[in-house]
Amino acid sequence: MSASGDASKFPVHSSRIHLALLISMAAVTFAPAPGRALSTQTSKSRSAKSYAQAVGVPLSTIIIFGDQYNGGDELYDVRITVKQVVRGEKAWQAVKGASASNQSAGAGYDYVLARVRFEFSARNMPEHYSYALDQAQFTAMSGDNKPYDPAVLAKQLEPTLHATLRSGDSAEGWVAFLVPRGDHTPLMVFREDVGNLSHEGNGSIFKLYYENPSASGKAKPS
């Protein structure tokens, strides 16, 4: 089921004190001790590219909402998949097709488009929280962690990645980035946005390129 709507509805218990933690893992999910954010993707001893999730491979994370007035933590499973990546001239044609007011990437830069699927599900019932998903929670960076500026478009590509998700909901849409033309292995980072809630976590990392060059040659927005 897909959901979209007013992000102001998040969270349900807006008058209470909450804590949200994001724990990122590529294959195995588990619940950490309260008050700590654990991640298999925060190692400083190796490049982010070496453990970034490949295109088409889901990454599983846990978002924990804690409420001291509501009897403890609530765990929500999240699966994020970069389903498709489009770059260069094909990406520019898609951006221009969304609106003639959208500007070109500029000298030395490419548009990189990622179609992202986001699934949200509570582990236990009853559940009390929703999640406000927005494309601004996704950013691009280089393999050595250098952040890139976001793509500023007059009109975003449809479908846009924007939804208020309850348990069992999913959303899918396009996110646009500007990447230096010489970077052939850019990465995407997801960082949870929990509104006025405090949170920890270093995000989940994905490849914005195909490891098989023939796949990228066939890619176009769909």
Question: What CATH number has the domain bearing residue 77?
Answer: 2.60.40.1240
- Candidates 169, 175, 193, 132; CA nearest to 3 is 169
How big is the chain, counted in residues?
A: 222
pLDDT at 127 over 80: yes
- Partnered with residue 65 across adjacent β-strands are 20, 74
For residue 33, being part of any structural domain is answered with yes
For residue 15, being part of any structural domain is answered with yes
Beta-strand relationship, 18-25 and 59-67: antiparallel
Number of compact structural domains in the chain: 1
pLDDT tens readout for residues 145-160: 999 988 999 999 999 9
For residue 2, being part of any structural domain is answered with no
For residue 1, being part of any structural domain is answered with no
Instruction: Please report where in the chains the tokens 């488009």 appear, as a residue.
Output: 113
* Contact criterion met (CB below 8 Å) for 86 and 116: no
pLDDT tens readout for residues 80-102: 999 999 999 999 999 999 999 99
Domain that holds residue 123: 7-218
What pLDDT shows up at residue 194?
A: 56
* Contact criterion met (CB below 8 Å) for 5 and 125: no
Burial class (CB in 10 A: 0-12, 13-18, 19+), 200: middle
What gap in Å lies between CA 30 and CA 26, rounded to an integer? Answer: 11
Which residues have a Cβ under 8 Å from the Cβ of 87 and sit 6 or more positions away? 110, 111, 112, 113, 179, 208, 209, 216, 219
pLDDT tens readout for residues 150-208: 899 999 999 999 999 999 999 999 999 999 999 999 999 998 765 433 334 446 899 99
Which residues have a Cβ under 8 Å from the Cβ of 112 and sit 6 or more positions away? 85, 86, 87, 91, 140, 176, 177, 178, 179, 186, 208
β strands within 10-123, DSSP E: 18-25, 59-67, 72-87, 109-122
For residue 81, being part of any structural domain is answered with yes
For residue 28, being part of any structural domain is answered with yes
What is the pTM assigned to this prediction?
Answer: 0.75
- Partnered with residue 20 across adjacent β-strands are 65, 199
